[in-house]
Amino acid sequence: MYAQEFNGKVALVTGGAQGIGGAVVQTLAKLGVVVAAVDFQAEKLQKHEEALKSEGLDVYAFSADVSDSLAIDRLVDTVEREIGPIELLVNVAGVLNPGLIESCSDLNWERTFAVNSTGVFNVCRSVSKHMVARKKGSIVTVGSNAASVPRISLAAYAASKAAATMFTKCLGLELAQYNIRCNIVAPGSTDTEMQWSLWEGNDGARTVIDGIPEVFKVGIPLKKIAEPSNIVDAILFFLSDQSNHITMSNLCVDGGATLGA
Protein backbone atom coordinates (compact mmCIF):
# COMPACT_ATOMS: atom_id res chain seq x y z
CA MET A 1 0.00 0.00 0.00
CA TYR A 2 2.78 2.46 0.92
CA ALA A 3 5.76 1.00 -0.96
CA GLN A 4 5.54 3.24 -4.03
CA GLU A 5 5.12 6.39 -1.95
CA PHE A 6 7.87 5.65 0.60
CA ASN A 7 10.48 4.00 -1.61
CA GLY A 8 13.79 5.90 -1.53
CA LYS A 9 12.79 8.37 1.18
CA VAL A 10 14.95 8.89 4.26
CA ALA A 11 13.50 8.41 7.74
CA LEU A 12 14.96 8.99 11.18
CA VAL A 13 13.51 6.80 13.93
CA THR A 14 14.46 7.15 17.59
CA GLY A 15 14.18 4.24 20.00
CA GLY A 16 14.92 2.06 17.00
CA ALA A 17 16.61 -0.88 18.72
CA GLN A 18 13.55 -2.72 19.99
CA GLY A 19 9.82 -2.67 20.65
CA ILE A 20 7.68 -0.24 18.71
CA GLY A 21 10.71 1.67 17.44
CA GLY A 22 12.36 -1.50 16.22
CA ALA A 23 9.17 -2.50 14.43
CA VAL A 24 8.94 0.94 12.79
CA VAL A 25 12.52 0.65 11.53
CA GLN A 26 11.90 -2.80 10.10
CA THR A 27 8.58 -1.92 8.45
CA LEU A 28 9.83 1.29 6.85
CA ALA A 29 12.96 -0.43 5.57
CA LYS A 30 10.87 -3.18 3.98
CA LEU A 31 8.89 -0.45 2.22
CA GLY A 32 12.07 0.83 0.63
CA VAL A 33 12.82 3.63 3.06
CA VAL A 34 16.43 4.39 3.95
CA VAL A 35 16.26 4.38 7.75
CA ALA A 36 18.57 6.08 10.23
CA ALA A 37 17.83 4.23 13.47
CA VAL A 38 18.79 5.98 16.71
CA ASP A 39 18.99 4.39 20.15
CA PHE A 40 20.93 4.71 23.39
CA GLN A 41 21.34 0.91 23.53
CA ALA A 42 24.24 0.56 21.12
CA GLU A 43 24.59 -3.22 21.21
CA LYS A 44 20.90 -3.97 20.65
CA LEU A 45 20.75 -1.37 17.90
CA GLN A 46 23.76 -2.83 16.12
CA LYS A 47 22.26 -6.34 16.21
CA HIS A 48 18.98 -5.00 14.81
CA GLU A 49 20.84 -3.15 12.06
CA GLU A 50 22.88 -6.23 11.14
CA ALA A 51 19.79 -8.44 10.99
CA LEU A 52 17.97 -6.03 8.69
CA LYS A 53 21.01 -5.43 6.48
CA SER A 54 21.34 -9.19 6.07
CA GLU A 55 17.94 -8.98 4.36
CA GLY A 56 19.26 -6.35 1.98
CA LEU A 57 17.54 -3.44 3.73
CA ASP A 58 18.96 0.09 4.00
CA VAL A 59 19.29 0.68 7.74
CA TYR A 60 22.00 2.72 9.46
CA ALA A 61 22.52 2.61 13.22
CA PHE A 62 23.38 5.71 15.24
CA SER A 63 23.99 5.29 18.95
CA ALA A 64 22.95 8.47 20.76
CA ASP A 65 21.06 9.80 23.76
CA VAL A 66 18.13 11.91 22.56
CA SER A 67 18.44 14.09 25.66
CA ASP A 68 21.86 15.32 24.43
CA SER A 69 20.98 18.19 22.09
CA LEU A 70 24.51 18.65 20.72
CA ALA A 71 24.83 14.95 19.91
CA ILE A 72 21.47 15.01 18.16
CA ASP A 73 22.41 18.07 16.10
CA ARG A 74 25.61 16.33 14.98
CA LEU A 75 23.75 13.12 14.20
CA VAL A 76 21.07 14.86 12.14
CA ASP A 77 23.70 16.82 10.20
CA THR A 78 25.52 13.56 9.46
CA VAL A 79 22.36 11.87 8.21
CA GLU A 80 21.49 14.85 6.01
CA ARG A 81 25.00 15.01 4.59
CA GLU A 82 25.83 11.31 4.17
CA ILE A 83 22.48 9.56 3.72
CA GLY A 84 20.03 12.13 2.40
CA PRO A 85 17.29 14.63 3.25
CA ILE A 86 15.11 13.47 6.14
CA GLU A 87 11.48 13.51 5.04
CA LEU A 88 10.08 11.26 7.77
CA LEU A 89 10.68 11.48 11.52
CA VAL A 90 9.31 9.12 14.14
CA ASN A 91 9.97 9.85 17.83
CA VAL A 92 9.70 6.58 19.74
CA ALA A 93 12.53 6.74 22.30
CA GLY A 94 11.17 6.59 25.82
CA VAL A 95 11.85 5.40 29.35
CA LEU A 96 9.53 4.15 32.06
CA ASN A 97 10.43 3.90 35.74
CA PRO A 98 7.21 3.26 37.68
CA GLY A 99 6.74 4.29 41.29
CA LEU A 100 4.55 6.32 43.60
CA ILE A 101 5.09 10.08 43.59
CA GLU A 102 6.29 10.08 47.21
CA SER A 103 9.16 7.77 46.28
CA CYS A 104 10.01 9.31 42.91
CA SER A 105 13.55 10.65 43.08
CA ASP A 106 14.71 13.87 41.47
CA LEU A 107 16.91 11.81 39.16
CA ASN A 108 14.05 9.57 38.07
CA TRP A 109 11.78 12.54 37.35
CA GLU A 110 14.48 14.45 35.48
CA ARG A 111 15.62 11.47 33.42
CA THR A 112 12.06 10.60 32.42
CA PHE A 113 11.44 14.12 31.15
CA ALA A 114 14.92 14.34 29.60
CA VAL A 115 14.17 11.41 27.30
CA ASN A 116 10.39 11.44 26.86
CA SER A 117 9.90 15.20 26.52
CA THR A 118 13.20 17.01 25.98
CA GLY A 119 14.34 14.22 23.67
CA VAL A 120 11.35 14.82 21.40
CA PHE A 121 12.09 18.56 21.47
CA ASN A 122 15.77 18.04 20.62
CA VAL A 123 15.16 15.72 17.70
CA CYS A 124 12.21 17.67 16.29
CA ARG A 125 14.02 20.99 16.52
CA SER A 126 17.07 19.65 14.73
CA VAL A 127 15.23 17.76 11.99
CA SER A 128 12.51 20.34 11.37
CA LYS A 129 15.08 23.04 10.52
CA HIS A 130 16.01 21.00 7.46
CA MET A 131 12.38 20.19 6.65
CA VAL A 132 11.43 23.88 6.76
CA ALA A 133 14.04 24.74 4.14
CA ARG A 134 12.51 22.13 1.83
CA LYS A 135 8.88 22.84 2.84
CA LYS A 136 8.20 19.14 3.12
CA GLY A 137 8.06 16.50 5.84
CA SER A 138 5.99 14.41 8.22
CA ILE A 139 6.67 13.97 11.94
CA VAL A 140 5.05 11.42 14.24
CA THR A 141 5.58 11.31 17.99
CA VAL A 142 4.69 8.14 19.87
CA GLY A 143 2.94 9.35 22.99
CA SER A 144 0.82 7.26 25.36
CA ASN A 145 -2.79 6.88 26.40
CA ALA A 146 -1.44 7.60 29.89
CA ALA A 147 -1.04 11.22 28.78
CA SER A 148 -4.79 11.71 29.00
CA VAL A 149 -5.82 9.44 31.91
CA PRO A 150 -4.22 9.48 35.40
CA ARG A 151 -2.21 6.41 36.32
CA ILE A 152 -1.08 5.37 39.79
CA SER A 153 2.72 4.87 39.91
CA LEU A 154 3.14 6.42 36.44
CA ALA A 155 3.07 10.14 37.25
CA ALA A 156 6.47 10.96 35.73
CA TYR A 157 5.84 8.89 32.62
CA ALA A 158 2.30 10.18 32.08
CA ALA A 159 3.30 13.81 32.64
CA SER A 160 6.29 13.53 30.30
CA LYS A 161 4.15 11.98 27.57
CA ALA A 162 1.53 14.70 28.02
CA ALA A 163 4.28 17.29 27.57
CA ALA A 164 5.53 15.56 24.41
CA THR A 165 1.99 15.40 23.07
CA MET A 166 1.32 19.11 23.50
CA PHE A 167 4.78 20.01 22.20
CA THR A 168 4.11 18.04 19.02
CA LYS A 169 0.79 19.85 18.55
CA CYS A 170 2.46 23.24 19.01
CA LEU A 171 5.17 22.20 16.56
CA GLY A 172 2.51 21.18 14.08
CA LEU A 173 0.89 24.59 14.33
CA GLU A 174 4.18 26.40 13.73
CA LEU A 175 5.21 24.16 10.83
CA ALA A 176 1.88 23.97 9.02
CA GLN A 177 2.80 26.97 6.85
CA TYR A 178 5.77 24.95 5.56
CA ASN A 179 3.65 21.94 4.56
CA ILE A 180 5.05 19.87 7.44
CA ARG A 181 2.58 17.75 9.38
CA CYS A 182 3.06 16.72 13.03
CA ASN A 183 0.87 14.08 14.65
CA ILE A 184 0.82 11.81 17.68
CA VAL A 185 0.09 8.10 18.01
CA ALA A 186 -0.82 7.18 21.59
CA PRO A 187 -0.47 3.46 22.31
CA GLY A 188 -1.96 1.65 25.24
CA SER A 189 -0.62 -1.64 26.58
CA THR A 190 1.55 -3.11 23.83
CA ASP A 191 3.48 -6.38 23.74
CA THR A 192 6.96 -4.92 24.25
CA GLU A 193 9.73 -5.06 26.83
CA MET A 194 8.46 -1.84 28.41
CA GLN A 195 5.05 -3.45 29.00
CA TRP A 196 6.56 -6.67 30.30
CA SER A 197 8.50 -4.71 32.91
CA LEU A 198 5.19 -3.76 34.55
CA TRP A 199 3.91 -7.31 34.85
CA GLU A 200 4.14 -9.51 37.91
CA GLY A 201 3.94 -13.28 37.51
CA ASN A 202 2.76 -15.17 34.45
CA ASP A 203 -0.66 -13.55 34.18
CA GLY A 204 0.45 -10.01 33.40
CA ALA A 205 -1.32 -9.79 30.07
CA ARG A 206 -4.56 -11.17 31.45
CA THR A 207 -4.47 -8.74 34.38
CA VAL A 208 -4.07 -5.78 32.02
CA ILE A 209 -6.88 -7.02 29.77
CA ASP A 210 -9.26 -7.60 32.69
CA GLY A 211 -8.39 -4.35 34.50
CA ILE A 212 -6.98 -3.52 37.92
CA PRO A 213 -9.68 -1.84 40.05
CA GLU A 214 -7.38 -1.15 43.01
CA VAL A 215 -5.30 1.24 40.89
CA PHE A 216 -8.31 2.60 39.00
CA LYS A 217 -7.23 1.02 35.73
CA VAL A 218 -10.02 -0.27 33.52
CA GLY A 219 -9.44 -3.26 31.26
CA ILE A 220 -9.18 -3.41 27.49
CA PRO A 221 -12.62 -3.64 25.82
CA LEU A 222 -11.18 -5.37 22.74
CA LYS A 223 -9.80 -8.07 25.07
CA LYS A 224 -6.26 -8.13 23.73
CA ILE A 225 -2.86 -6.52 24.17
CA ALA A 226 -1.72 -4.55 21.14
CA GLU A 227 1.02 -5.90 18.91
CA PRO A 228 3.76 -3.46 17.85
CA SER A 229 2.43 -3.80 14.30
CA ASN A 230 -0.88 -2.26 15.40
CA ILE A 231 0.98 0.88 16.45
CA VAL A 232 3.14 0.84 13.33
CA ASP A 233 0.02 0.82 11.14
CA ALA A 234 -1.15 4.07 12.73
CA ILE A 235 2.31 5.62 12.37
CA LEU A 236 2.46 4.70 8.68
CA PHE A 237 -0.90 6.35 8.12
CA PHE A 238 0.31 9.63 9.60
CA LEU A 239 3.59 9.50 7.70
CA SER A 240 1.86 8.88 4.40
CA ASP A 241 -0.14 11.00 1.99
CA GLN A 242 -3.22 9.12 3.17
CA SER A 243 -3.29 11.71 5.97
CA ASN A 244 -2.18 14.71 3.92
CA HIS A 245 -4.84 16.96 5.45
CA ILE A 246 -4.28 15.87 9.05
CA THR A 247 -1.93 17.60 11.48
CA MET A 248 -1.84 18.15 15.26
CA SER A 249 -3.96 15.01 15.69
CA ASN A 250 -3.61 12.46 18.50
CA LEU A 251 -4.67 8.94 17.57
CA CYS A 252 -5.17 6.59 20.51
CA VAL A 253 -4.43 2.92 19.77
CA ASP A 254 -5.31 1.11 22.97
CA GLY A 255 -8.20 -1.25 22.31
CA GLY A 256 -10.55 1.17 24.06
CA ALA A 257 -8.68 1.07 27.38
CA THR A 258 -9.09 4.79 28.03
CA LEU A 259 -12.71 4.78 26.88
CA GLY A 260 -12.06 7.39 24.22
CA ALA A 261 -10.54 9.92 26.64
Residues that are catalytic: 157
Q: Which of 187, 112, 113 is nearest to 144 (CA)?
A: 187
Cα 119 from Cα 3, distance rounded (Å): 29
Please give the angle made by the CA atoms of 194, 63 and 116, to the nearest 5 degrees. 45
Cβ count within 10 A of residue 173: 12
Q: Which of 149, 117, 233 is nearest to 109 (CA)?
A: 117
Cα 204 from Cα 199, distance rounded (Å): 5
